[in-house]
Amino acid sequence: MSKLYIQIKDKQIPLILRNYKNTRNIKMYFNGTTFNISKPKYLSNKKVFALLKENEEKIYEQYLSIISEDSDVIKHWKTGEKFLYGGEYYTIDREYTHKKRFSIDLNKDKKLFKIFVPLIIEEEIQVKQYIDKMIKKLLQNNTCVIIQERLPYWSNITKINYSSFNVRDAKTKYGSCKPDTGELYFSSRLAMLPQAQIDAIIVHELCHMIYRNHSNNFYGLVKEYIPNYDEINKWLKKNAKELMF
């Protein structure tokens, strides 16, 4: 995997190019503000960039839509924006500093995310990339702490065992599992959610160790421990866009 940039008109768009041995198709899509390309290993980069050239107008329009200031999905980490954390909305306050490193000061009392940005970083797209990375690391660490506490608790309550868990950055799935091996996987963005929603996700995945589907029996088991699961699930679907950045 390599990180590149493509220049289309007045925009420099971050690009991730991945090569796969066992694929025959090219996939092109945006993940946040980064354009992703997955291609067969045998296909030359020259052909890929020729394909990009053919589709640059469409890519450009998609990118403008994503970075639009009116976008209610993608975070730009600018002063005044709201960020869901621990089930509550925090206000972003960006401040520029002469220090060389980005940093975050999390004020839970004032519900404030203070983000310090080095003055030497002038390109807005680079600022966003650095902050994205920093926020992801924060969420990764905090979600691990939460899962380490709540997963054993619910495993004991449900009497459903697991072998291990892993936390990774996932935007579209709150959790997943491998019943054959007892492995559980959780999105690092769970730290953004209220505890009741986190507990429901944990129980959901534990119950998949018993039922590998979404049958009535599965949901019946989940609701034995989370009676208001339907209400929580509706909340998760409604607020899924808050996890995007």
Q: What string of H, E and C letters represents the secondary structure of 89-136? A: EEEEEEEEECCCCCEEEEECCCCEEEEEEECCCCCHHHHHHHHHHHHH
- Inter-residue contact 98 to 64 (CB < 8 Å): no
- Inter-residue contact 134 to 161 (CB < 8 Å): no
What is the extent of the structural domain holding 107?
Answer: 82-138
Is residue 130 domain-shared with residue 155, that is, in the same domain? no
Q: What is the mean pLDDT of residues 186-196?
A: 97
- Would residue 188 count as lying in a domain? yes
Is residue 159 domain-shared with residue 212, that is, in the same domain? yes
Give the domain-ending residue among 95, 122, 138. 138
pLDDT of 121 above 70: yes
pLDDT tens per residue, range 56-91: 999 999 888 877 654 556 788 999 999 999 999 999
pLDDT of 130 above 60: yes
Q: What span, in angstroms and rounded, lies between the C-alpha atoms of 26 and 36? A: 10
Domain count, the chain: 3
Is residue 149 domain-shared with residue 130, that is, in the same domain? no
For the chain, give the number of residues.
Answer: 245
Is residue 170 domain-shared with residue 230, that is, in the same domain? yes
- Would residue 229 count as lying in a domain? yes
CA dihedral 35, 4, 17, 128 (to 10 degrees): -40
Give the domain-ending residue among 115, 138, 161. 138
What pLDDT is attached to residue 71?
Answer: 55
Q: pLDDT over 70 for what percent of the chain?
A: 96
User: pTM of the entire structure?
Assistant: 0.72
Is residue 146 domain-shared with residue 192, that is, in the same domain? yes
- Inter-residue contact 167 to 183 (CB < 8 Å): no
CA dihedral 34, 49, 6, 29 (to 10 degrees): -20
CA dihedral 213, 219, 221, 227 (to 10 degrees): 160
Confidence bin at 95 (pLDDT 50/70/90): very high
What pLDDT is attached to residue 73?
Answer: 62
